[in-house]
A = this chain, B = another copy of it.
């Protein structure tokens, strides 16, 4: 059983959206052996830092929150799609070259995965592509940038996906993963009433037919 760990590691100097100081995690030692009998650490982090899942509240006023989480939708077959040839936004024309079916969960591997620094011009899913994905009734999409879109006024990609119940995962690391089918375990730290949840995600290479048949 080959396991790919496709989540980011949380470090003080990790890449964060637009390099904003407010998005950098703060890791603090709150107790050590000079002050007590144990060593304890505190993490303070914006929930859109690192690998995470967006909920509709992130972009839609009064949108659904993490309280509506259905874990079974994150444990399922996925398709990793090689998009490393894309230089800017992924468009509907790019997607029409790919076999996309109802209920697919697509993880787009782009050149974002090959850089540990934040790319100002990161590859994203453009508005036309989000409309196309919604028309195909896919179940979810994962990207290897820290945003599913970039510089699109009013965030149409987020909204088109969210309003069509398409799960959005951001911040994947896919450099080591080839295009193909995998079984995904995307397990969240469950925080109540939130606009995002941190995810730890693995892909299993070997197809398990008895698992796929149940999805």
Contact = CB atoms under 8 A, between A and B. Distances in A.
Interface in A127-166: 154-155
Contact of A43 (B1, B30, B191, B214): B191
Contact of A155 (B11, B38, B195): B38
B43 A192 contact: no
A208 B27 CA distance: 38
B195 A41 contact: yes
Interface residues of A, number: 56
A59 interface: yes
Contacts of A25: 191
Interface string A1-12: 101010111111
Interface in A1-59: 1, 3, 5, 7-12, 22, 25, 27, 30, 33, 37-48, 50, 57-59
